[in-house]
Amino acid sequence: MELDEYKNIVRERYMALTDEEKTIAESMSDSPVGVVLGKLFGPEMGDTLMDDSAPIDETTVAIPTDMTRDMPSEMPTETVV
């Protein structure tokens, strides 16, 4: 897989996020976790999400699935003593 192809995949995943998830991702950039991720992925990947004008190959757009359908309606809880 070429870098440009991977960038398109990441961009498509970002675009599939809810507005709330996008806000969380954007606010993370100034956090310690965001700084470390920025160092790991470098400016090559950081620019990927900031460049909304970059073309997306419509033939490779991932269709988001409803990941919540397989989740239990109530999460089990544990009591820690």
The answer to whether residue 36 sits within a structural domain is yes
Amino acid identity for residue 42 in this structure: G
Classify residue 54: in a domain, yes or no.
yes
Tell me, yes or no, whether 32 lies in a domain: yes
Domain total for the chain?
1
- CA 19 centroid distance within chain: 12
Angle, alpha carbons 42-46-51 (nearest 5°): 145
- For residue range 10-36, list pLDDT tens digits in order: 899 999 999 999 999 888 888 999 889
Do the beta carbons of residue 7 and residue 48 sit within 8 Å? yes
CA gap 42, 37 in Å, rounded: 8
CB of 9 within 8 A of CB of 62?
yes
Domain range for 36: 3-63
Please check whether residue 68 lies inside any domain of the structure: no
Instruction: Say which residue the tokens 């950039």 belong to.
Output: 29
Is residue 25, in this structure, part of any structural domain at all? Answer: yes
52 pLDDT band, cuts 50/70/90, is low
